[in-house]
Amino acid sequence: MLLKVITFNCAHGKGMDGKVDIERQANLLNVYKPDIVFLQEIDMYTKRAEERNQIREFSRKVYLPYCSMETNITLEEGYYGDGIISRFPISFSTNYLMPLTDLNHEQRGILCNMISLGTAKINLFSVHLSTYEDERILAIKELIRIIKKIDQNEIIIAGGDFNVGVTRLGKGKYTFEKKEQYEEYNYLKKYLRKIDNAENTWFSKLGNGCIDTIFYSNNIEIKNFKTIDVNGSSDHNAIYAEFDI
């Protein structure tokens, strides 16, 4: 079976033009007819999202009936975190809050869902790591601790915004350092394979970089992948991958 997966930091629907529009983002993803969508920076009931349930709205607009969202922080009388949308029923969902080195830093989490395709069990992780390298490394080590407990016959797919090379300087201010290798990836590559995407996925006035990607377990094969140009409907492009399950 061919499983089509997209990971996308949707920036709560906000485009580079400042307009919040989930529908235009969903329309761009619909071209690929995905089975699974990992979302980062998704809002629920916040003022900036006009008090909408964005995960439900996204689910309807990409024609995938099952969805899950967990909260990493409360924001503007609502909630903010990561989501997963699926063509297949979600049998299990939990959110793992990641370690902080400073309580003033934004709380990050990794959302885990499980789905089944026949006899195959698939563990899905929507990842949004910190803008501080030390916290990213701690989070990767925590993710490894979690996946080491998964039965080796089960499938793992982890997609998201890994923020590699990014450092936060202050509110709305970041730098990006491109490296040949990232320590975060090197740790995770001991347990999972990574698609070989290299095009920039994050765009800002202060830096551009390839910080979004997908990892997968050794018991499935990657057939195809590409970077999806979302035409400025977010400050991130999306990543599409096809797996032979």
Taking the domains of the chain in order of start, what are their residue ranges? Answer: 2-244
Strand partners, 203: 208
User: Residue 242's pLDDT band (boundaries 50, 70, 90)?
Assistant: very high
Average pLDDT of the residues in 43-64: 97
pLDDT at res. 169 = 84
Average pLDDT of the residues in 213-236: 98
User: Residue 45's pLDDT band (boundaries 50, 70, 90)?
Assistant: very high
Average pLDDT of the residues in 117-136: 97
Calculate what percentage of the chain has a pLDDT beyond 90: 95
pLDDT at res. 149 = 98
- pLDDT tens, position by position, 174-220: 889 999 999 999 999 999 999 999 999 999 887 899 999 999 999 99
User: Residue 243's pLDDT band (boundaries 50, 70, 90)?
Assistant: very high
Q: Tell me the CATH class for 2-244.
A: alpha beta
Average pLDDT of the residues in 13-25: 97
User: Residue 125's pLDDT band (boundaries 50, 70, 90)?
Assistant: very high
**More confident of the two residues 28 and 175:** 28
